[in-house]
Structure 1
Amino acid sequence: MRARNLAVVLATIHRSGPHTRASLAERTGLTKTTVSSLVADLLEAGAVTESGAVRAGERGRPGVAVSLSGHRVAALGLEINIDYLAACVVDLTRTVRLRRIIPADNRNSDPAAILESLRALAKETTAEAAAAGLRVIGAALAVPGLVEGGMLRSAPHLGWRDVRVSDLVDMPFEVDNEANLAALGELWFGPRESDFLYVSGEIGIGAGLVVQGGVFKGTYGLAGELGHVVVVPDGPGCRCGGRGCLEVYAGQDALLGDLGSVRELVSRLESGDQAALEACRRAGHALGVALTSAVHLLDPGTIVLGGIFAPLFPWLAAPVSGGLGTRLAQMRGAPPDLVVSATGSDAAVLGAAGLVIQQIIAEPAKLLGL
């Protein structure tokens, strides 16, 4: 019962705080004595802090405001991408305290070597957080592949299959698909408050459907494989064994061609390079075709373009919107809003850290040792 009440109080502060103890008692239905005891425990654990006096209501003396603390408790987000390893530390107020990125070529890589590098990055980042007074409670990892029960079942672009990553760090740890966590990163760290479809452009193309504050994963965790929606039935072969998949036309390799980086592509686009403009037009058209099918099936109000699509948004938006508008005009009138990600390339690693923050809010007694 106490564990449940701790969660109720902390969730109330997280959702609509800061609150006085009297206000918390009124909102939670708990007695003032119980709330005071619970707040004392949360103060001791470093989850909340007390600040200047505020008036709880129209009458009575001002009370002391209780709010989430960003000074002691934190979460570690990790990401394995094709081109880099990333880590970030986020405190309980969802303020990013540390960010680290290590460029790397992880295609067809040795899982043991990559995981050892990531483990070293995690230790270094956690130690730096500790030096700043932050206690990292747990960690989560974003990976570009299918995850089941802490096992990375398949990550074709990494060349990994059935790799267990759940023992990566010595703390509570979770692993999930990059697109799912990127969608949650956009929800928790961006301006999104309602349901939306997040599209993650990388080597592959994934999507995360946010519904009522969570990501819809499907029966086997395969929901959102937008990159393998067929846009040209007799098109080129795809690594999945099919033909004409979206990934063939709008994945990172298709967009970059012989260029070395997205930054170089953006530079070409800004200078008006016709080959670069045509690559984006072709990718945007294909993405519009695939998203038309997604809209028919899912009916999202907003589509968010993230990953490498974020810096390319000024050149992708018109062909994507044009394709959607043409195909949806007779069915529903206006197409969904098409917007650029507010979290950019950090979405997945932020979502990973945010996942741990959500768990702390939901189970403070368990994760904070109360």
Structure 2
Amino acid sequence: MKLSPQFLGYLFGEPDYWAPGDYAEYNADGVLSRIESFSQQPRWHIHTKDMPFSTYMAFEPKTDSTTYIVVGDSDHLGMREMKRRLLDNLRSTEYQDPFMFHAMIVHETFLDAKTVITPVRHQLYDQLDRVDNYSKKSAHERGKGDLEELTIGLHVVSQEIDSMTAGTDMTSMIVRRLIKGHTRYRESLGSVALVNSSTKTADALDYLAESVDAQRRWLESYKARKDIAMNLVFNLVTLQDAATSTTIAREAKADGTSMKVIAALTMLFLPGTFLSSVFGMTMLSNHVKWWLYVALTLPLTILVVATWWMWQSYPPLWSLLQNLRRRRRAQVNIIHGQNVAMV
């Protein structure tokens, strides 16, 4: 049997990510003599090590014979269903379109996607409900642990949706190649009756293509809703961090105010403490009158408090003094450099 070499790797059941194949051969008169079509169906259960379905079809108009090779897990429900349908078609006396069985295989494997997409859709809705409930809580009731769980849950859903979108794209590619090959086959038919009989398969392929496109639109909708939820979670995290920073700044400001009060009280009592230490010396204790302590403490305290008040109230004045001091130092350095150069 003549077999396309591109299909040989599929016989071992290894996952392949190449595009589906569709080839045709014509004789010297330009009449179609052979059609080949092969593909490997996407694996929807990516967390299991199931063998992917691989299908090879060859049709020869001269002998009106169709050869199919299907590689897959024999215990899979889809494989048993395809065997049953194939036996029903073989018992039928009606015209058998060579692409019909290939279309049924794609249809059965695509139906298997429902068992995966439905749980992911429910998981997405659960996460969206959790995000809505979390957003309704007050700032004091929101915990970072809940945000971590929401982020991880949405990340898992995102990975599942991305893999399903890739599987849908591969299914759409397979269906398009089948439509292309079937169109080539219909154009080679000389009998109007055969063309009319193959219309059923053409309609089935068109319906399958539209169904795959519809499923992809739903997956894109799920992904868009997931992205909106992720943005909301990110904004909530940003708001929570901003609220935390505001609280820290408010507490720091309160601490700064307290430090200013402590500094003011320290400066208020510092002159008196200093003079009491001086007058308490042994050498002065018998020669200093008490009124002298009061006469010196009051003006010294007023001087210290006034200096501190001016320092806090007129910072540009002190900046101006510092700038003048820097300029004076620069001029001195320039003059010193000139003197050194002259020497």
The TM-score range, normalised by the shorter chain, is under 0.3
Which has the bigger relative contact order, CA under 8 A and spacing at least 6? 1
Structure with max Cα Rg: 2
Higher-helix-fraction structure: 2
TM-score normalized with structure 2 length: 0.23
